[in-house]
Structure 1
Amino acid sequence: MQNEQKRGTWLIVLSLLIALILTVIPLPQSWQPFRPDWLFLVLAYWVVALPHRIGLLWAFIWGLVFDALLGTVLGLHSFSLCILVFILQLNFQRIRIYPIWKQALTMGGLSLIYLALVLWLSRITGSPESVLSYWFSAMVNMLLWPWLFILLRDLRRYFRVA
């Protein structure tokens, strides 16, 4: 029974590592405002799909790794991801039954909350970010969610991650 519960952890970790890699891949300066928040999207999928396994501890740890990777204030993304994972854990059953377009709208709204938290915390800590680029990213997250959802769902089913 213990092995059955831990099955597929490698796929979750691998998908989160790929999200981190996609975050730091250089883009042309004109494309920077449209960079999606890969870590948020992948973590949101796993929280909605497996809320009994992926929770606040995962968000906290991966947020710290994300902060260290980007060189931001330690805990900035970690706090923001924890808030969003908490919201997702409270509403995962509702989000699951939504059609894919409504899930995308929900993820767009949650992306706005996540980006507002990151922007607010970065301003408090003294490292202001450009405001305009954050809002385009939420739109890209919303458009990217259905494709990412289908890809990760199919991978989860193929490798029988439970």
Structure 2
Amino acid sequence: MTDKEPQNHWIVWLTFVIAIFLDQFPLPDTLALGRPQFVMIVLIYWVLALPERFSFITAFFIGILMDEMRDNVFGVYALGLIIQAYLVLIVYQRLRMFPAFQQSIMVMGIIFIGMFVTAVINMLLGDFIWDWRFFYPCVFSALFWPWSYLLLRHLRQSFRIQ
């Protein structure tokens, strides 16, 4: 076959748009504490699935967009996402071998590190006070990972994203 098949990367960007919407959707304070980190989950999946296409540059631009949407200091969230992309790139070959429910433990650690970096920077800037509830999104993201992994993998296979 001489013609290249379409890559359908618009699906990837659509998943990021949906994740950003879910991340910004207003919730009551009690529910917002346990909101999974949807943007981080989607970024981890796409870096894990297609590391040569989606990694640092994708993390940077999504992070800058999230900084702007959260009215955060420019680049703080982007740095957290870049660090997460780096961590996934380091372990992606090992991480791929495990089933999704076992991957969720690593995903929780990766999300924790990204959130910790942004929290430390925000603490240094005076915008964050450490609280034990900080860990809730990491745990709920890990619980949400197997379902999001299966959904995103189904999308990738259905639309033949390469």
Q: If the TM-score is normalised by the length of the shorter chain, which range does it land in?
A: over 0.9
- Aligned amino acid, residue 116 of structure 1: F
Structure 1 position 131, deviation (Å): 2.3
8 Å Cα contact 1:32/1:133 also seen in 2: no
Conserved? CA contact 1:112–1:135, under 8 Å? yes
The equivalent residue for 2:132 is 132
Aligned residue number for residue 40 of structure 1: 40
When structure 1 is superposed on structure 2, of 25-34 and 137-146 the one drifting more is 25-34
Deviations, residues 2-25 of structure 1 (Å, cap 9, x unaligned): 954x61210010000100000110
- Counterpart Cα distance in 2 of 1:154 and 1:26: 28
Is 1:51 the equivalent of 2:45? no
Residues in 2 aligned to 1:159 and 1:73: alpha-carbon distance in whole angstroms = 36
Q: Residue by residue, what CA displacement relative to the aligned partner does 1:44-100 show, whole Å, maximum 9, x if unpaired? A: 000000001001000001000000011111100100110110111121111100122
1:71/1:98 Cα in 2 relative to 1: closer, same or farther (>3 Å)?
Answer: same
1:104 Cα offset (Å): 0.6
Looking at structure 2, the residues matched to 21 and 48 of structure 1 have their Cα atoms a distance apart, in angstroms, of: 22
User: Are residue 75 (structure 1) and residue 92 (structure 2) matched?
Assistant: no
Instruction: Give the Å deviation of 1:129.
Output: 4.4
Instruction: Map residues 1-162 of structure 1 onto 2, 5 A cutoff.
Output: 3-4=4-5, 7-129=7-129, 131-162=131-162
Give TM-score scaled by structure 2 length.
0.94
Q: Which has the higher helix share?
A: 1
Superposition misfits of 4+ residues, deviation over 3 angstroms = 1-4
CA RMSD of aligned residues (A): 1.5
TM-score (norm 1): 0.94
Runs of 5+ unmatched residues, structure 1: none
